[in-house]
């Protein structure tokens, strides 16, 4: 089984709607990263979370870390077509910056 699980696997939303993507780790989290990927391109860094209860926001995207539950959520408010892509959570599960990734969540936003 995967060390990092993401849900949902894919998401189709109407423009303007809110949405949440979840990431769950089977191991202790030393750091949690959210990235976005467009097809055929590299990963674009969104946010990094390190402490339990930490919450960060950038424009309309908010990420939270629940360290006890080894979970993180990514919330997009008032989605736009520019938010479409694959969202990947990455986790540092060691003390030496070994970063592994979940399977990704594919987001489509319909105008």
Per-residue tokens: 101: 């990734």
CB of 75 to other proteins, least distance (A): 20
Distance from CA of residue 102 to its chain's centroid?
Answer: 9
Build a one-symbol-per-residue string for 73-102: x at contacts with other proteins by CB under 8 A, - elsewhere: ---------------x-x-x-x-xxxxxxx
* Cβ distance to other proteins smaller for residue 13 or 31: 31
Under the binding rule (CB under 8 A), the answer on residue 54 touching other proteins is no
Under the binding rule (CB under 8 A), the answer on residue 13 touching other proteins is no
The size of the interface with other proteins (CB under 8 A), counted in residues, is: 27
Under the binding rule (CB under 8 A), the answer on residue 40 touching other proteins is yes
- Where do contacts with other proteins occur on this chain (CB under 8 A)? 4, 6, 30-31, 33, 35, 40-45, 48, 50, 88, 90, 92, 94, 96-104
């Amino acid at each position: 089984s995967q060390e990092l699980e993401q849900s949902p696997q894919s998401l189709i939303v109407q423009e303007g709607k809110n949405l949440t993507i979840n990431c769950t780790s089977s191991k202790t989290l030393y750091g949690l990263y959210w990235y976005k990927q467009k097809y055929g391109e590299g990963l674009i860094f969104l946010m990094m979370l390190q402490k339990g209860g930490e919450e960060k926001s950038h424009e309309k995207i908010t990420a939270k870390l629940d360290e006890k539950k080894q979970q993180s959520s990514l919330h997009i408010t008032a989605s736009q077509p520019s938010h479409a892509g694959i969202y990947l959570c990455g986790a540092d599960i060691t003390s030496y910056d070994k970063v592994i990734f979940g399977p990704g969540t594919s987001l489509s936003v319909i105008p």
